[in-house]
Structure 1
């Protein structure tokens, strides 16, 4: 029908029939909506929610090892693992359900990465699969599980659970390669299995390390008082596989309140010095001799040699010096610091490439690239933390005592609280421990600059059950039931009075370990003493 035309009889009849049909449909829909029971919908929703209620273990993140990522600008891999360095597994695990978890196990598995996906389970050096399951993380037996339950909304081990197996932390010593680390929980009645795991992609790489170490020959952490103070600089190579370092150069800085500073040859070393100029047999670190410095890729007889200082893998070299403090004043400080400047590596390296013209079978000239063997200077290794060190001293007498070791002795036969025999299992420095009476023993030492200045002392032991939060504190200054001969209390140092003071001492206590996870700390402190003889270094006062 065009505009302006009147509808025909057939069209008018069709429209008349559609109108009541549309009204009827609207009325039916309205009636259905009125009759709908909205409470029924609400109940159905609640029923579905109730189906998901209960305990729900969620692996929120793997804290260790961290996932390896790639810098989008430089292409550098970040957070890689070092081949041969032990790795422990830590995870953030939470009960996100609305009721407690009463039984739960945890599994850690390391897979080979195949294009970013999980491949086969990786193997260790002995051919064993890298997969560990601890089924006794949460249960109702306190002699088996460290946690009896994990409440709704609670974090396992304060949000940093370390995977353990048979009472000891699980340790992975990785080889180079790409891996997928997966942490999985298995909680009884878990409401949502979809959040029971987390995975990290990690890459393990080879690494090299130049390790420098400065130490006072006296063994003291900080020197003090008058007289010459000898020191030793040690240089060592480390890494994940065998290699050697050539021509190591270090920068040594000697500063402070000093009269003189010389090396073994009597050369003045006050101020800043470059050590290891490699100009002679005695001016570098390592073994001096002739060695190959360049070799052709395809011709082992085409070589160049030169005189070099070389340190082999995990070998070391030492350098010595002596400083004399200026004691004309009543106080003053001095220091000796060292940092790695450079070293040289030898091998078939990208920097050794050479491109030359060559002939093809077609008679046309085509370039050929060789990767020769050559020397390359490096200014940074793969572990900057070990590339520098410092020792310090004071003109005045330096007062210091410290804890040198902390051990746990087990294997005692007891009569009530009295020791009848033992220990049969002494000198433990880590778990697992047997739930039994044990001896906690700390060794202490005089670390001051003047051994004739003696110090009275005591050790405070703190044993914390990190599951229950219970803390036991006890003080001791002698040790009769520990490792070694019985020790009665004496001051630390040396004295003209026979047997009144000794350089070292022992303190120990007996403690009955119940099943659980513990932090044990021993802290030594001076007792009494004259004004001005207080402990001047807190860095060595405790051990855990």
Structure 2
């Protein structure tokens, strides 16, 4: 044991000790009268509450096996365990402390109980040290909160995941259940260890049982109809020890609405009993009176048997003739009952009762005798008790409930109909032109989830009356031929709507095959029929119930309503998302608003869905600008070619395609692209110089330029990269309407044109407002054709020329050259003292001489 075992209950005081105890109690009464009870109660309450600070595991009760008590003059024995019964251990364990229990172990121990009530020899024990622990890989529970019950008050002892069981031999035992709480170091942290253990007394005894059992030969619980019905009566003796039931007397009573009752016997059986023949109906039919018990006393085998035997001396015995029913050898009686042919409604019963019997075995105390014996306990006993074999008369045994059996029949036509199976068949496809259904892909479903769409719901209806084939020759009819139908109730939990559909045939059966038109149940018809409906299930959560109905003249006569309906609950109709893909058909750069390039964009989309046919999907486009939303209906490959305008211009433009299935579920895909605007801005000065600025940009801001003749002039200007000084021959003030970021500008090119009769520029410069000069065209960049000169700036997509001045410079351009003097060769020679000598030569310009 993990902890201490409580001391045994005190021995009972003998009568000789009673007087001193009573005198002591009387003397203490005066002392108790002077005590302040209120103060004691307050102190006790304080100690009880303060003593349980922290974890406190308490074993409240052992709930299995229960506490056994012996029989006495006032009550029978209770909770006696039958020999051979397998026991398990269950206890009510709780945390009665103020802090959580994080480490809990439980141990079960069994000891023998001595005659005087003290604890005897150790029998067995089982330990589970990790019922609760911090490691989730070891323990299923990691904490027991204050006030919480372990396993809801029904902790069952197990070791290594297997329930502990114990099959005790006959004896008297103590069963202990002890629980221990500890901290992380394994030390006890229990606030009150006095409540950690409980003990139950368990008495294990041999048992005997003599039983009688009546059954209808058909196996039905309740017989019915007008035809004779057979029954079987079986008498059996059982027990944990060998014993014989002798001179058994059984009363069999037939009562109620029946014409006759009888049992069958075999006159050729030399023992003259009334069973032991394989056939239900034997040679002789023996009627017995209705309402009067028939006495069966010749049960078992008749012959000479021992009626006494000394357990110490087997030769000391007595014999006599008895009807003897041995343990495990059943005695069977077959009989028949003919219901009242005139009655229209009513019941009849057969009741068998064991009245008395004689038990032969080693029965204590009835068969005990005193004799000299060595009891082997070292106490020096000179006499002992021996239990012999003898006969004892009984009116009941250890299980009196099995000594009576009753079966019932009814003479009325018992009408009953049931739904025995309910299934769904899904995955149909319907030909739009012919309306024909393809076979279901999923057959015989009894639960969800399912795909939304068309399905069939199929119910099998059974005839459950007591006599389906009964024929009334007088009226030439079948009393149990039923008209019927099935009500299919479909509840949509999503919106609480309910639909009811009635059916009595099955043209769409998948699981059971195809069946013909409606036919009645029973009589000349079959005992089972089918009913099916078509149903379109939208996405949602459903309950489907099929209820079988008796209609016509038997409406309202269904004897058993619990089997009339069958339900499939919580059917999820899950709509799979459709799939859509958007694709851009254009290749290369896309322009808008230009006459010389294509101004359309080509977009395509394809979509599919598991539940829907392609033609039931709806595809729509969301395009730049309010005027360009287009739908594609009944198409799975949707191609559109909208015209481009200024609404489309920009980088990162999107076209969104959305597919919507027949249930309203939408899924989208996006294609991203850039649309550029191509245009040319023009300006001309009063002096006749004109500018054209070609732009390709992704911005919807309009672009224009202004250019006027400037009043500024430049003379004697030294220009970077040129030798000498130069004078301006034309100065223009230039300004763009806006500037675009480099990312929004795809390409740009500026072109200047002038009249060569008035101007002969040799270079063109740009001067920003800060006075910084930059060459934008040299002589080589200027072309002349006839009287028109053209200055074309190199195309660039990086920037737009900002506002400033454009200066035409005249004069002969002299470029700054590269010096002609340059070294030719160089050699290095080592010299003494760590010195290095160098020699080189150089080339003089043409016509130059060396000096120095």
TM-score with structure 2 length normalisation? Answer: 0.39
Deviations 1:54-108 (A, max 9, x none): 2222111112222223456459644322211232322222211123333433222
Give the Å deviation of 1:232: 0.8
Q: Which residue matches 2:240?
A: 240
Structure 1 CA distance, aligned partners of 2:191 and 2:386?
Answer: 62
Structure 1 CA distance, aligned partners of 2:52 and 2:386?
Answer: 65
Query: Quick check: 2:55–2:101 contact (8 Å CA) kept in 1?
Result: yes
Give the Å deviation of 1:371: 8.6
2:286 match: secondary structure: coil
**Is residue 381 of structure 1 aligned with residue 381 of structure 2?**
no
Query: Quick check: 2:311–2:388 contact (8 Å CA) kept in 1?
Result: yes
2:548 match: secondary structure: coil
Structure 2 CA distance, aligned partners of 1:456 and 1:236?
Answer: 47
1:190 match: secondary structure: coil
Give the Å deviation of 1:216: 1.0
Give the Å deviation of 1:164: 3.6
Deviations 1:392-416 (A, max 9, x none): 1222234679999xxxxxxxxxxxx
Structure 1 CA distance, aligned partners of 2:392 and 2:72?
Answer: 27
From the superposition, tell whether residues 403 and 218 of structure 1 become closer, same or farther in structure 2 (CA, over 3 Å): farther
Deviations 1:152-195 (A, max 9, x none): 21223333333344545433222111100011123344322221
Structure 2 CA distance, aligned partners of 1:526 and 1:272?
Answer: 48
Query: Quick check: 1:221–1:447 contact (8 Å CA) kept in 2?
Result: no
**Is residue 276 of structure 1 aligned with residue 296 of structure 2?**
yes
Query: Any gaps of 5 or more consecutive residues in structure 1?
Result: 1-44, 123-128, 279-283, 356-368, 405-443, 458-486, 503-524
1:527 match: secondary structure: strand
Structure 1 CA distance, aligned partners of 2:546 and 2:259?
Answer: 32
From the superposition, tell whether residues 235 and 136 of structure 1 become closer, same or farther in structure 2 (CA, over 3 Å): farther
Query: Quick check: 1:224–1:394 contact (8 Å CA) kept in 2?
Result: yes
**Is residue 212 of structure 1 aligned with residue 212 of structure 2?**
yes
Deviations 1:433-470 (A, max 9, x none): xxxxxxxxxxx99875235679999xxxxxxxxxxxxx
Q: Which residue matches 2:91?
A: 91
**Is residue 119 of structure 1 aligned with residue 106 of structure 2?**
no
From the superposition, tell whether residues 388 and 167 of structure 1 become closer, same or farther in structure 2 (CA, over 3 Å): farther
From the superposition, tell whether residues 121 and 269 of structure 1 become closer, same or farther in structure 2 (CA, over 3 Å): farther
Given the alignment, which residue of 466, 469, 489 partners 1:449? Answer: 466
Given the alignment, which residue of 113, 132, 156 partners 2:150? Answer: 156
**Is residue 171 of structure 1 aligned with residue 165 of structure 2?**
yes
Higher RCO (C-alpha under 8 Å, 6+ residues apart): 1
Given the alignment, which residue of 303, 318, 324 partners 1:289? Answer: 303
Give the Å deviation of 1:305: 3.8
From the superposition, tell whether residues 495 and 59 of structure 1 become closer, same or farther in structure 2 (CA, over 3 Å): farther
1:119 match: secondary structure: strand
Give the Å deviation of 1:276: 2.6
- Pairs within 5 Å for 1:69-80: 69-70=69-70, 73=73, 77-80=77-80
Structure 2 CA distance, aligned partners of 1:68 and 1:296?
Answer: 31
Query: Which deviates more from structure 2 when the two are superposed, residues 83-92 or residues 387-396?
Result: 83-92
Query: Quick check: 1:216–1:232 contact (8 Å CA) kept in 2?
Result: yes
TM-score with structure 1 length normalisation? Answer: 0.59
2:99 match: secondary structure: coil
Q: Which residue matches 1:224?
A: 224
1:529 match: secondary structure: strand
Structure 1 CA distance, aligned partners of 2:146 and 2:312?
Answer: 68
From the superposition, tell whether residues 528 and 82 of structure 1 become closer, same or farther in structure 2 (CA, over 3 Å): same
Given the alignment, which residue of 313, 318, 322 partners 2:336? Answer: 322
From the superposition, tell whether residues 193 and 393 of structure 1 become closer, same or farther in structure 2 (CA, over 3 Å): same
- Pairs within 5 Å for 1:314-463: 314-347=328-361, 374-398=390-414, 449-450=466-467
Give the Å deviation of 1:386: 1.4
CA RMSD of aligned residues (A): 4.5
Structure 1 CA distance, aligned partners of 2:48 and 2:240?
Answer: 55
Give the Å deviation of 1:121: 2.8
1:272 match: secondary structure: coil
Deviations 1:199-245 (A, max 9, x none): 01222111111021111111111112221121111111111111111
Structure 1 CA distance, aligned partners of 2:485 and 2:129?
Answer: 49
Query: Quick check: 1:214–1:391 contact (8 Å CA) kept in 2?
Result: yes
1:157 match: secondary structure: helix
Query: Any gaps of 5 or more consecutive residues in structure 2?
Result: 1-44, 183-188, 265-284, 371-384, 421-460, 470-479, 487-510, 516-520, 531-544, 551-555, 567-852
